[in-house]
Amino acid sequence: MGAWAIAVHGGAGVDPNLPKERQEEAKRLLTHCLDIGISALRSNLPAIDVVEIVVRELETDPLFNSGRGSALTDNGTVEMEASIMDGPKRRCGAVSGLSTVKNPVSLARLVMDKSPHSYLAFSGAEDFAKKQGVELVDNEYFITEDNVGMLKLAKEANSILFDYRIPTVGTCGAGAAAMESPLQMNGLPISVYAPETVGCVVVDKEGRCAAATSTGGLMNKMTGRIGDSPLIGSGTYACDLCGVSCTGEGEAIIRSTLAREVGAVMEYKGLNLHEAVDFVIKNRLDEGKAGLIAVSKNGEVACGFNTTGMFRGCATEDGFMEVGVW
């Protein structure tokens, strides 16, 4: 019997001027989700069940960019994606392009458990959801007043907004920020870097690792855009050594297969979890900006990021618990 550990995140890349009340609100939600996960682990639920339960809670709360409160496409609709992976036997499930499924991570779990496939998207995923009897809601359920306002700003600035809740003073200022920003995605300038994807990683007492990630993607993204979150090995990965969930610039995470790299350097370089996380953040992102949370089969927990901050929290069986932003 080993020791359990859990970590959660609400996105990497935080505006340095983010109001204190917003920071505290995020910390309260992360603490609440950690408490849910800890209770489940103390009840001896397997790691794969715990990551699903925690991410469902994050999807239901509109604070972060997943489920209700997801970012809007350039058409003003929501297209959500999620993935989940069970370390033992590396079983996985993923979904993209969801517009009516209340909890995308649970549909990803059903893809893993109840289908012959690993990944379903758009109308095929929605049809599968109906057949499985999962809870469906109108697309309007996911859309918040704040997001409608930020989409308007993004369109006026002709840019993709990463943290769509950062206050912007005037549309002229937003446009100037987009033009002057040194940050780029695939060579194109972007305005603000601070995505708020959610994720959870867990190792249970049996040493089983699991990971899950869920997101609404980018504000003002092109319809049909798929990021790293549903891509096994990029945004999410779990094996017999570790579980990893990533957040940040999706295109950079995809290019570096960031989540899998943590397990790879542990396996092939013999690094421990903390060394592996530090190595991939420093050496695999090129000029990309991202962060990740990870656990190992030995009960270790770690996080790493090269952004200004990352909403995160972690806890271990020995009583350690920490929630942070910077």
- DSSP run (H or E) holding 244: strand 242-248
Q: Are 197 and 230 in contact (CB under 8 A)?
A: no
In angstroms, the first-to-last Cα distance of the chain is 34
pLDDT digits (tens, 9 = 90+) for 173-230: 333 333 344 444 444 444 433 347 999 999 999 999 999 999 988 888 889 999 999 9
| Superfamily (CATH H level) for 5-140+192-324 | (Glycosyl)asparaginase (3.60.20.30)
pLDDT digits (tens, 9 = 90+) for 248-304: 999 999 999 999 999 999 999 999 999 999 999 999 999 899 999 999 999 999 999
User: Which residues carry a binding-site annotation for substrate?
Assistant: 225-228, 247-250
The whole model's pTM is what? 0.89
> What is the per-residue DSSP string for 178-238?
HHH---EETTEE-SB-----EEEEEE-TT--EEEEEEE---BTBPTT---STTSBTTTEEE
pLDDT digits (tens, 9 = 90+) for 98-119: 999 999 999 999 999 999 999 9
- Percentage of the chain beyond pLDDT 70 is 88
Cα angle for residues 172, 174, 69 (degrees, 5° grid):
135
The Cβ-side half-sphere exposure at 129, using a 13 Å CA radius, reads 27
Strands 242-248 and 290-296, by their bridges, are: antiparallel
Calculate the alpha carbon distances from 216 to 9, 94, 153, 163 in Å.
Answer: 15, 14, 18, 12
The Cβ-side half-sphere exposure at 141, using a 13 Å CA radius, reads 18
- Confidence category of residue 14, pLDDT binned at 50, 70, 90: confident
How far apart (Å, rounded) are the C-alpha atoms in residues 198 and 215? 6
Q: Is the pLDDT of residue 135 over 60?
A: yes
Alpha helices in the chain (DSSP H): 20-42, 47-60, 104-114, 122-132, 145-157, 171-180, 250-256, 258-269, 273-283
Using alpha carbons only, how large is the chain's radius of gyration in Å? 18
Q: Are 26 and 10 in contact (CB under 8 A)?
A: yes
C-alpha 68, offset from chain centre: 14
Question: Would you please indicate which residues are annotated as catalytic (active-site) residues?
Answer: 197
Q: Which residue carries 């996911």 as its tokens?
A: 142
**Backbone angle region of 179, left / alpha / beta, with phi > 0 → left and psi within -120 to 50 → alpha:** alpha
Predicted pLDDT of residue 159: 61
- Confidence category of residue 170, pLDDT binned at 50, 70, 90: very low
Would you kindly state where each structural domain of the chain is located, as residue ranges? 5-140+192-324
C-alpha 202, offset from chain centre: 14
